Amino acid sequence: MIKIMDTVKVKVGNITIGGDSPIVVQTMCNTHTSDVAASVEQCIRLADAGAQMIRLTVPSLAQVDSLKEIKGILRDRGIVTPLVADVHFSSEIAIAAAEVVEKVRINPGNFHKDHEKAKEQFARLVQVCKANGTAIRIGLNHGSLGERITNLYGNTPLAMKEAVMEWLEMCVENDFYNVVVSLKASNTIVMVEAYRLLAVAMQEKGIVFPLHLGVTEAGNGDGGRIKSAVGISALLSEGIGNTIRVSLTEDPVNEIPVAQYLADRYDGRLTSTMASITIEGKSAIATYISPSRERLLLDFSCDFGKRLLDKELDEVELRGSYIEEGEEKTLDGSEYASYLTDELMQAARRRFYRPEYIACPGCGRTMYNLEKTFNEVKRRTSHLKGMVIGVMGCIVNGPGEMADADWGYVGEGNGKVSIYKGKEPVLRHVPEEEAIDRLLELIEQS
């Protein structure tokens, strides 16, 4: 079993994160929090599927009341899964939500630009958390680093680490340790590097807070699963990480089996179905005997993601067999084996054989059918190898979170879309029905 870093223990309702606790599997609703019935229904499905913590977006104070209602209904039905409020921008919303749910996620990049003012806001939040036994996640994303930090360190993993360390110092100053940290990015190299830097920095300081791992905007389907597995497994295999979320642009219930696999594997409850491996120089040949397509995909991503990311290996050839619909399928020289290898190379950013998609999982801020649109964008842009295309659910966080996308499709709400070229909106208020056509026209003209 891998030795997990010795961290502070964080209590989130009936769950403990960190210390010697098993890896905690969590997810997030993609319902509108104000739609209490839909949110309750989704929370129940997620809890049934095995989610140990469920996050809901809280874009305004009005949703804090909805959150209260959702929590009340769930508890009445005997569902005790801790709830997490996802708050951006407003410390007042975070403070109000901290009185209602077991944990509040804040994005420090969204707190007051003036560091002293941000400190005051945070101290007030901590007071409420202490009074209510609420935990905090300091959830920093690559796409939302503040200007002060990027001016000092660039838009880098180092900047992410530095930004978060300032906030952890504020926790210590406030004598508050019920804190989990995340440093997510869509780029697996940036994500892994940022967490590694943070793990070392916390150890040097002598206080190690538990880490929440995730690859943001990983997309959907095989690509989303492989990318998430590569980033998360690289860290878990080093004993870094205490709770995980696999973000997919799909029904969040689909995230749970992938996250559960990762938790089981790195808590030592399951092992890879790789039967043999030969390595010559920086090339490997791996043979699997796998019980399913899904299992093969995850085993392969975890066995080789880190070695490719860290450039220990340059190539890997997939052989062996897997079972699909009761039939044994051979991998030797198969199209499926080369497709999986291509996807893995892309996820580890070693070779780009198709466009790179950055798609958020969607949440209560999403005002359109994100999953359907994303699939359509993928279908119509599949020829644009190497291009980075973002498809984001909302105009509030989407543009920032798209990070290094060449082009972006960002939902504005009210059936309208903004199209971004890099960080600049080049078309606004485009009706949804025309937006993919406009995006493709712009790409062709450029």
Exactly one of 393, 406, 412, 417 binds ligand SF4 (CB under 6 A); that residue is: 393
Least Å distance between CB 394 and ligand SF4? 3
Which 8-state DSSP code applies to residue 329? Answer: E
Exactly one of 227, 365, 407, 412 binds ligand SF4 (CB under 6 A); that residue is: 365
3-state SS, residue 407: strand
Residue whose CB is less far from ligand SF4, 401 or 406: 401
Cβ contact 44:76 at 8 Å:
no
State how far the Cα of 298 lies from the Cα of 79, in Å rounded to an integer: 30
Which of these segments, 62-70, 310-318, 359-367, 417-425, binds ligand SF4 (CB under 6 A)?
359-367
Least Å distance between CB 347 and ligand SF4? 20
Is residue 363 close enough to count as binding ligand SF4 by CB under 6 A? yes
Sign of CA dihedral 238, 56, 216, 129: negative
Is residue 252 close enough to count as binding ligand SF4 by CB under 6 A? no
Residue whose CB is less far from ligand SF4, 85 or 340: 85
Is residue 394 close enough to count as binding ligand SF4 by CB under 6 A? yes
Sheet strand arrangement including 283-290: 274-280, 283-290, 315-324, 327-330
Instruction: Return the residue nearest ligand SF4 (CB atom).
Output: 393
Do β-strands 424-431 and 416-421 pair in parallel, antiparallel, or remain unpaired? Answer: antiparallel
State how far the Cα of 85 lies from the Cα of 55, in Å rounded to an integer: 6
Residue whose CB is less far from ligand SF4, 7 or 228: 228
Exactly one of 361, 371, 390, 436 binds ligand SF4 (CB under 6 A); that residue is: 361
State how far the Cα of 122 lies from the Cα of 291, in Å rounded to an integer: 49
Interface of this chain with ligand SF4, residues 396 to 435, rule: CB under 6 A? 396-398, 401
Burial call 165-186: b when 16+ CB within 10 Å, e when fewer: bbbbebbeebebebbbbbbbbb
Nearest Cα neighbor of 328 from 286, 293, 368, 364 is: 293
Is residue 109 close enough to count as binding ligand SF4 by CB under 6 A? no
> 424 vs 331, 368, 399, 406, 427, CA distance in Å?
44, 22, 9, 10, 9
Exactly one of 87, 163, 360, 439 binds ligand SF4 (CB under 6 A); that residue is: 360
Residue whose CB is less far from ligand SF4, 146 or 214: 214
Is residue 362 close enough to count as binding ligand SF4 by CB under 6 A? yes
Which of these segments, 149-157, 207-215, 250-258, 386-394, binds ligand SF4 (CB under 6 A)?
386-394
Say how many Å lie between the first and final Cα of the chain, rounded.
Answer: 52
CA-based radius of gyration for the chain: 21
Mention every residue, 6+ apart, whose C-beta is less than 8 A from residue 249: 219, 220, 224, 359, 360, 361, 362, 370, 371, 374, 391
Is residue 193 close enough to count as binding ligand SF4 by CB under 6 A? no
Is residue 321 close enough to count as binding ligand SF4 by CB under 6 A? no
Residue whose CB is less far from ligand SF4, 240 or 439: 439
Residue whose CB is less far from ligand SF4, 57 or 121: 57
Interface size with ligand SF4, residues (CB under 6 A): 13
Residues near ligand SF4 (CB under 6 A) are: 360-363, 365-366, 392-394, 396-398, 401
